[in-house]
Amino acid sequence: MNENPLISVIVAVYNAEEWLHRCIDSIINQTYTNLEIILVDDGSVDGSSQICDEYARKDKRIKVIHKPNGGVSDAINTGLSAVNGEYIGFVDDDDYIVPEMYEELLRAITENDVDMVLCDCTYVDEKGVAIADEISPIKKTEIIKPCEYLRRLAEPKSGYYVTIWNRLYKKDVLSNIVFPKGRTNEDGYVVHSIIKNCNNILVIKKSYCFYTQRAASISRNPSPNQYFDIIEALIGRIRFYKEEGYEQLIPSSMQELYELFMQIRRHYIFRGHKTVKGLRRASKIKREVVAIAKNNKEVIEKGCVRRLVFSDFVIAAQIAQERILGNIQ
């Protein structure tokens, strides 16, 4: 076994000049130094491209890939196609990590013979101040099986388990993973497939990374179409639950779908979002959700979820459609 394995760290970069120095500095200053740092410049139009090139000239571990804008998923896929490391990590361009992160996660993944190690993270605002109301669902350090991990995806605060950036992977775990081009919430589309590739996963209570919650970020202010991305990712996960024998996890996910669709309804009706594309996506999603629910006995038997299919969800979809149809430009 290689005692000093190469870790490939992928950073998808787009118009992040305000935070990019902090991000890259936190990676190049890691106590574990055998790193391959892949900066994928996704067609930035601010100073991010120049910042990436400046760092590459100073540090031979840095590889910069400049490409036309294709979105975060496309940038991540580009980075994955270029990795040489035995292990892979991701850092968002506006986030940063503690100096010991990769040294500690590498030790943990090798000593415990797991396929992926997940650490806790600290949510901060744009000034780096911790956000007090973000309470982590990670209660202790433990090794868990994929079935337990998937169960946690269906619980509240599952975002900690969905994201790709607070962890270290064996390269093989990501070998067949393709992120969906043109979609936001890219992590949600693939997380279940990643977990399927694992035998054991180590969850660490200690926080090693800082997630920047920007006021204008997609995660805080999603548009209706971004809500649709979240919903489509969740539908994909529900299909996975059904195909892989985890049907007991479907009811809670259906409830989450209901709540998300109500948020879309509020956007359409109260904020005036009106698009033909949005109508088509709403109709397609409604059909898929109803089909899933009608074919799942446990979902039908759960009174709290029954309304999703037979009342509120359908009514909300119809109201949203009528609103849009009456205001097509």
* Cβ contact 88:174 at 8 Å: yes
pLDDT of residue 296: 61
* Cβ contact 40:10 at 8 Å: yes
* Cβ contact 248:298 at 8 Å: yes
Residues 6 or more apart in contact with residue 300 via CB below 8 angstroms: 293, 294, 306, 309
What are the counts of helices (DSSP H) followed by strands (DSSP E) for the chain? 13, 9
Nearest-angstrom CA–CA distance, 283 and 289: 10
The overall average pLDDT reported for the chain is 84
75-90 average pLDDT score: 98
**321 pLDDT higher than 60:** no
Nearest-angstrom CA–CA distance, 169 and 174: 8
pLDDT of residue 278: 59
Percent of the chain with pLDDT over 70: 75
End-to-end CA distance of the chain: 63
Domains of the chain: 7-212 (3.90.550.10), 224-325 (no CATH)
The secondary structure of 47-95 as a DSSP string is SHHHHHHHHHHH-TTEEEEEE----HHHHHHHHHTT---SEEEE--TT-
Apex 281 CA angle, 276 and 287, nearest 5: 130
Query: pLDDT tens digits, residue range 154-199?
Result: 886 788 899 999 999 999 999 999 999 988 889 999 999 999 999 9
pLDDT of residue 322: 47
* Cβ contact 189:179 at 8 Å: yes
**326 pLDDT higher than 50:** no
Query: pLDDT tens digits, residue range 23-42?
Result: 999 999 999 999 999 999 99
Helix (H) or strand (E) segment spanning residue 203: strand 201-212
The secondary structure of 110-142 as a DSSP string is HHTT-SEEEEEEEEE-TTS-B-TT---S--S-E
pLDDT of residue 325: 46
Percent of the chain with pLDDT over 90: 57
Residue at token pair 């433990």 = 142
**319 pLDDT higher than 50:** no
